[in-house]
Homo-oligomer: A and B are copies of this chain.
């Protein structure tokens, strides 16, 4: 999730959470915005029976805003040691009301999020498991716009991928094995490297 916003780190209180700690839950009053300074977090919604959908991942620089609701509407959990700066919601609102620049920046990042969520609706609603996984791998690999291909963050487990893609861990595992067999990716340890981005892109677009 890229909800990047400039320099909030100077205000607010800094807090640190340990791996797996759920620092934001759906039933918690939404009083703070969290600005991620270091580490990573998974953001998710869950159903009462435990089914989980990962909304996105937050990395350094992202802001998890308290939306204009009384409670948060999703949960967030540290994927590894996580440092955030907590900004009180009223402070943010004040900033938005007085500084058009700050507000425009927030609006801009909210809209970029909307664009990516629209694509994910299409993915979850209409793409096959194979297409979804290929999309995910490419998204991870080309994250932050650099042309270089990054490996998938090893902190992202099969369960995370499954919950992100609306699949089961078994399906993800089987598809990764298939991709490996087809020499599209390599797997060493838990790290996944993209070997053939072009053919992955073909899988995504081969929805002709």
Is the pair B99, A53 in contact by a Cβ cutoff of 8 Å?
no
Q: Quick check: which of A15-23, A44-52, A79-87, A148-156 contacts chain B, the rest being far away?
A: A44-52
Which of B52, B115, B166, B208 has a CB less than 8 Å from the CB of A69? B115
Tell me if A146 counts as interface (CB < 8 A to partner B): no
Interface contact B208-A48, CB-CB below 8 Å = yes
Pairwise interchain contact A67-B115, C-beta atoms closer than 8 A:
yes
- CB-CB under 8 A from A47, the residues of chain B are 122, 126-127, 207
In the complex, A63→B65 CA distance in Å? 23
22 sample A-B contacts, Cβ–Cβ < 8 Å, listed by A number: A45-B119, A45-B122, A46-B122, A47-B126, A49-B207, A51-B127, A52-B126, A67-B111, A67-B114, A68-B108, A73-B119, A96-B103, A97-B100, A103-B104, A107-B107, A110-B110, A110-B111, A120-B121, A124-B166, A125-B163, A125-B166, A126-B166
Query: Known contacts A106-B107, A110-B114, A125-B166; can you find 8 more A-B pairs with CB under 8 A?
Result: A47-B126, A53-B121, A67-B114, A73-B119, A96-B104, A97-B104, A107-B107, A124-B124
